[in-house]
Amino acid sequence: MFKKGLKTIGIILLLLIAILLFNTLTYKSKQLETEPISPIDLNNDCAQHLSEAVQIKTVSYEDSSKFDATSRLQFISFLRKTYPLSDSLLKKKIINGYSLLYKWEGKNASLKPLILMGHMDVVPAESEGSKKWDFRPFSGEINNGFVYGRGTMDDKVNVIGILEATELLLKENFKPERTIYFAFGHDEELGGRNGAKKIAEYLQSQSVEAEFILDEGLVITKGIVPGIKPNAGLIGISEKGYLSVELSVETEGGHSSMPAKETPIGILSSAIATLEKHPMTAHISEPVQHFLDYVGPEMPFFSKLAFANQWLLKSVIIGKYEKSNSGNASVRTTTAPTIFKSGFKDNVLPAFASATINFRILPDETSDDVVAHIEKVVNDARVKIKKTAFGNEATAVSDINSEGFKQIEKTTKQIFKNTLVAPALMVGATDEKHYTKISKNLFRFLPVIADSDDLKRIHGLNEKIAIDNFKDIIRFYRQLMLNSCK
């Protein structure tokens, strides 16, 4: 009897191993087979132009009284002067004073337009004058094959890259079949409410419906995707939602010599600690599922086995992603306490404490789910919960079988040799969230090649881009316009 039982277990095990192996060996690559094309020649003028763009301090400050209109206008006139063909041959419109919309009329009015987006503002440069910077952040220093400074990765590289490519195409006398718009906002770093949002409203008033829209977003990662050796271009097909919630506690206050057993600071701290300990459930949402399906077949054997057998091993994959902060942000709605306010004097018990918690929401969850989760986990009527302004739900997931995704995928493969492409979830925010009424096919990708150190330079110290990489970005935009508008 015992022997028989062992035999049955043995057979089941063998069967299981056979299924796991079968799934692994038949796990097919989703990589598009396209030959790289030979790169067009570009001289170093483009690096000079990027450098000049960096030198115009179009900084977005949280404090709106610091808004500098002059630099914005200066940037627009710099673009007009530097790209004379785009300036004279394309229609241009300044939106809400400082944002720019170009229209390159296509020959075939029945085709839906393409919109390429970018933003002209940058974040401030922390410790601007200090030695922490190899070169001053607004000097636009060109050194050793790199252009240095704010905006070289985020996002002047994009605006300048698009216009460099356009200028080339105009010189080649290219006339697009499909109308192309370039939409450059001036306040993305503040949420894009005065720039991108207004451009989108204008486009909507003109009944523009785009075939697809490409904005900054994910990059070509180098050594970042676990288990993947080649560079991997990640195309954002959805953007997480954004919600800040204020928690507050109000009691009677009093003298610190006779404190109540529980105080607002204590009650609120414990609520926040509980929320951190009980985050929303980790799971694989649609864009992350697509990501797994694209990178899985490219993995070394044992990882590939796990990815090919998600019916059994999905929780193992989720567990692995949960370990790193960036992986965790891909598999769950995250909880980030960002502000805590209370108290004003050391011997006075404050009657009030408040805290702000920032949630980034997965595409299959909503801000209402987050609030319900907070109520359930905190479970304390003394803690008041209030949604604060400026939140947005996650964007719908764009179709990876659409024309837009296919063109971005193909162009990436043509310009960047030995590079994998995969759809992915964008955990940060972009201006494109304002464009959901203009197209269903929104993509977030800028082919900046970045390892984990480079990623820290975005909004950090020593932001820089290799001139060779910048030239490939120009080639990418040129090729993308040729591929999708010829």
Residue ranges that bind Zn ion, judged by CB under 5 A: 154-155, 216
Least Å distance, CB 119 to Zn ion, is: 6
Residue 156 or 332: which CB sits closer to Zn ion? Answer: 156
Are the C-beta atoms of residues 431 and 117 closer than 8 Å to each other? Answer: yes
Contacts of 111 (CB under 8 A, 6+ apart): 177, 178, 179, 211
63 included as an active-site residue: no
Residue positions counted in the chain? 486
Q: Is 268 exposed, middle or buried (0-12, 13-18, 19+ CB in 10 A)?
A: buried
List % helix, strand, coil for the chain (3-state, nearest 5). 40, 20, 35
Least Å distance, CB 133 to Zn ion, is: 20
Least Å distance, CB 217 to Zn ion, is: 9
Residue 234 or 318: which CB sits closer to Zn ion? Answer: 234
* Alpha-carbon distances, residue 152 vs 13, 119, 226, 286, 292 (angstroms): 55, 12, 26, 32, 30
Per DSSP, the three-state class of 422 is strand
Are the C-beta atoms of residues 426 and 240 closer than 8 Å to each other? Answer: yes
Handedness of CA 403, 430, 287, 373 (dihedral sign): negative
Residue 153 or 400: which CB sits closer to Zn ion? Answer: 153
Q: Which structure tokens are listed for 276?
A: 């951190």
Distance of CA 145 to the CA centre of its chain: 26
Residue 182 or 321: which CB sits closer to Zn ion? Answer: 182
Of 188, 393, 409, 454, which is the active-site residue?
A: 188
121 included as an active-site residue: yes
Least Å distance, CB 457 to Zn ion, is: 13
Least Å distance, CB 62 to Zn ion, is: 16
Of 121, 155, 409, 432, which is the active-site residue?
A: 121
Helix (H) or strand (E) holding 91: strand 91-95
Residue 90 or 235: which CB sits closer to Zn ion? Answer: 235
Least Å distance, CB 427 to Zn ion, is: 14
Residue 157 or 168: which CB sits closer to Zn ion? Answer: 157
**Which sequence positions are flagged as catalytic?**
121, 188
